[in-house]
Amino acid sequence: MTLDITGLIVFLLAVMPGFITQQSRHSLVPRPLESKTALEETGEYVLNSLLVHLFSLVCFRELLLFFNPRPLLAFGEAVLGQGLRGWGYEHRYLTITYLCFTLLVGFVLGLFRGYMALNQPVRNWLSRYSWFQRLLKSLHIPSFIEDGPVWHDVLRDRDTGNLTFVQIRMKSGCFYTGALERYSILKDSEKNKDFYLVNSHFRANVSEPYQEMRCKGILLNFSDVEAIEVFKSDKPIAELNAEGFQRADSATS
């Protein structure tokens, strides 16, 4: 009994690069709010894999033509003579190198797609031109719709070095302030969202001064929160204290 690995190779070629691309992309941007069907998810894997293989084949073709065109010529003969399996075994190291290269390209493509989805550089660049705004107006498009959670879009740090600070009024009437260190990315309709503050301060009511909390950080849940005030700052955490939050509180009250 012989082991036929053709199906495994087809799976690796058709799905794995796209899967790596999706996982890499979602390391930068949140996953869609609505879960996709298996058909939609597989379709994205295959589409990403096609893009990866298109780029990888062009790169390998140019490299082989420059350094050693014999495997490329043998590959053409194998395609015509239906001898791809034999060609793959004969050039197994080249085949393995190609598979590893496609996974690397898939990872980089995912990061690129994540960056484009997170920052929208092309759309923001076009939005600065009046002719593009007139075009949108003529098409009755008032604005673009964001598909990410509002929770994530408001709290995330857009610029390198910027920190997000929050002042939180709890339903019980007490207040917390601190630097937002971590938070969960869930649907906006989901109330049980955890978030973690460092350099945190506390006061029991609005008339009392803030007191520094003697702990590394505090974990809170959005379901217990009445309101959150968000501040962005490029100062280090050590330079920020409770007085700054009190001034911000008085300015917004």
Got the DSSP string for 121-146?
HHHHHHTTSHHHHHHHHHTT---PPP
Helix (H) or strand (E) segment spanning residue 212: strand 211-212
Provide the whole-model pTM.
0.62
Name the CA dihedral angle for 203, 208, 213, 217, rounded to a multiple of 10 degrees.
30
Question: Where is pLDDT greater, at 225 or 185?
Answer: 225
Q: Which residues contact 28 (CB under 8 A, 6 or more apart)?
A: 111, 114, 115, 117, 118
Average of per-residue pLDDT across 131-155: 73
What's the CA angle centered on 96, arms 93 and 100, to 5 degrees?
135
pLDDT of residue 242: 46
- In three-state secondary structure terms, 230 is strand
pLDDT of residue 223: 85
Domains and CATH numbers, the chain: 6-123 (no CATH), 150-252 (2.30.30.100)
How far, in Å, CA of 1 to CA of 163, rounded? 62
Q: What is the pLDDT of residues 29-54, one digit of tens each?
A: 777 666 777 788 888 888 899 999 99
Q: What is the pLDDT of residues 202-253, one digit of tens each?
A: 888 888 888 888 888 888 888 888 888 888 776 655 455 544 555 545 544 5
pLDDT of residue 243: 47
Position 160 confidence tier, pLDDT thresholds 50, 70, 90: low
Q: What is the pLDDT of residues 110-139, one digit of tens each?
A: 999 888 877 778 877 887 888 888 887 888
